Structure 1
């Protein structure tokens, strides 16, 4: 049996005389082990079947306990693999500067990686044409990819840029902003909107998450100093691993 299995199953996490619901008792027990460092980042928990056999709890009770800790960010569930203790460090991005994903990861000491989902020319949709100030059906370069820090999947990103800005698809490498800078079209300002959302099935599968998990949906329109729009990006970020940080100052006029 693994170390995590011995710690979890070799104890009696449920007190029958305790009025606290059983799933909360199990969640409290697991939380204590994680916070104490007895269960380390990345360790796998025993299977549901093994927990059922060791505790006589129902699968429904066990799943409620695990789901509670997933919501707290202490556990993560990977499709077809199992339940694991979450990694310790959360990724933080400042909202005070316009930077790209690759630059953010390098500044935080991570290696940015990506996996292409789509990279090609297409006709702009009505939403894309409106966001970029293009004529309906004008050609755009659509860049759809999974973004990773080291080997951890963090975001699914769809970036759309006017095809006229870049001479070739091959000019786009790890960093879109580096490619735009080389083409003399690096944005200098952007409007970014964020909202909480439930992960769709497709993005959840790519991010080692579950459909319906809480995520951040981010929409960004970036512009040159002249005001011309050069990038329209929509992204889903894992809510359990990513924080956006803003420094605020007091308005002394009030």
Structure 2
């Protein structure tokens, strides 16, 4: 039986010890001899790179130190300009690694309830899904998981970071009953829906709850955001065709990368 699944290499966004060429070219135009304040010069130079899409989504943009070494502008002024670009949604800040070009995740306009895995959802949004397995083991389920899965048996618990275009999006803890027939050397695909399908337990319905939360320190470190950043908490109980629960999930989404728009109708008009 599965006792431990080896963690894969931790795939992360890669920072750099030098500025990307488009950023360097734009910032070389910043000069103390211009009547325009340095803050506005910095902001306009960096905005031009981002608005002209000279760098790929998710790619390294800059650190405060690299910009200071090139321009001689104070760190406080650089930080203010970068924070404004983050506020505008053009950059994301990854703690300890610098700033990266924002991953544009299209809004999900929900017209009717739809059931699909996060892997398929990211593909539908034109993104490249990825998974980092932080931990996986077989455990005796805690009481609330036992209730959700309606089982007294052991479960496979996985802690994973889900990524889109290599950017951390979701920290996800999942539970699957071992009784579905998991093998001792079971390999985890990116989508646990695929794993369930391989065991003839296809998910056909789910109960999904979303709440607003502040991200705690441990999860914030995995997602590359500051502790107490805004996020979305979700829990989902997934059911197969016999209405048996086969997968329970608890996760935290980054709040700066997702938004949901729901179209509603007056009941009498449907």
Coarse TM-score class (shorter-chain normalised): 0.7 to 0.9
Note closer, same or farther for the CA distance 1:34–1:243 as it changes in structure 2 (3 Å cut): farther
1:4 touches 1:43 (CA, 8 Å); kept in 2? Answer: no
More deviation in 30-39 or 99-108?
Answer: 30-39
Is the CA contact 2:107–2:259 (under 8 Å) kept in the aligned structure 1?
yes
SS of the residue 1:209 aligns to: coil
Instruction: Report the counterpart of residue 198 of structure 1 in structure 2.
Output: 214
* 1:221 alignment counterpart: 237
Q: Contact (CA 8 Å) 1:148, 1:154: kept in 2 or not?
A: yes
Gaps of 5+ in 2: 1-18
Distance 2:63 2:132 in 1: 31
Q: Deviations 1:65-124 (Å, cap 9, x if unpaired)?
A: 43343243221122333223324x315556521111222233344443212112221011
Classify 1:180/1:201 alpha carbon distance in 2 versus 1 (closer, same or farther; 3 Å).
Answer: same
2:28, 2:70 within 8 Å by CA — same for their partners in 1?
no
Please, which runs of 5 or more residues in structure 1 have no aligned partner? none
Tell me the secondary structure at the aligned position of residue 206 of structure 1.
Answer: helix
Q: 2:124 maps to which residue? A: 107
Does residue 143 (structure 1) correspond to residue 162 (structure 2)? The answer is no
Deviation at 1:212, TM superposition (A): 3.0
Is this contact kept in 2: 1:155–1:237, CA < 8 A? yes
Cα shift readout 1:146-184 (whole Å, capped 9, x = no counterpart): 222343332221111222123325054222112212323
Aligned to 1:153: 168
Shift of residue 193, structure 1, vs aligned partner:
1.3
Q: 3-state DSSP class of the match of 1:216?
A: strand
Q: Counterparts of 2:28 and 2:212 in 1: how far apart (Å)?
A: 36
User: Is 1:238 the equivalent of 2:254?
Assistant: yes
Instruction: Report the Cα distance in structure 2 between the residues aligned to 1:134 and 1:68, rounded to whole angstroms.
Output: 50
| Alignment partner of 1:164 out of 159, 169, 179 | 179
Q: How does 1:29-44 map to 2 (within 5 A)?
A: 29=44, 32-33=47-48, 36-37=51-52, 40-41=55-56, 42=59, 44=61
Residue 126 of structure 1 pairs with residue 147 of structure 2: no
Query: What CA RMSD, in Å, does the superposition of the two structures yield over aligned residues?
Result: 3.6
Distance change >3 Å, CA 180–CA 7, structure 1 → 2 = same
Deviates more, 1:151-160 or 1:121-130: 151-160
- TM-score, with structure 1 as normaliser: 0.76
SS of corresponding position for 2:61: coil
The CA distance in 1 between the partners of 2:72 and 2:259, in whole Å, is 36
Contact 1:132 1:230 in 2 (8 A): yes
Identify the range of structure 1 (234-243 vs 38-47) with the bigger mean alpha-carbon deviation: 38-47
Residue 109 to residue 54, structure 1, CA distance change in 2 (3 Å) = closer
- 1:165 and 1:31 map into 2 onto residues whose CA distance is 52
Three-state SS of the structure 1 residue aligned to 2:48 is helix
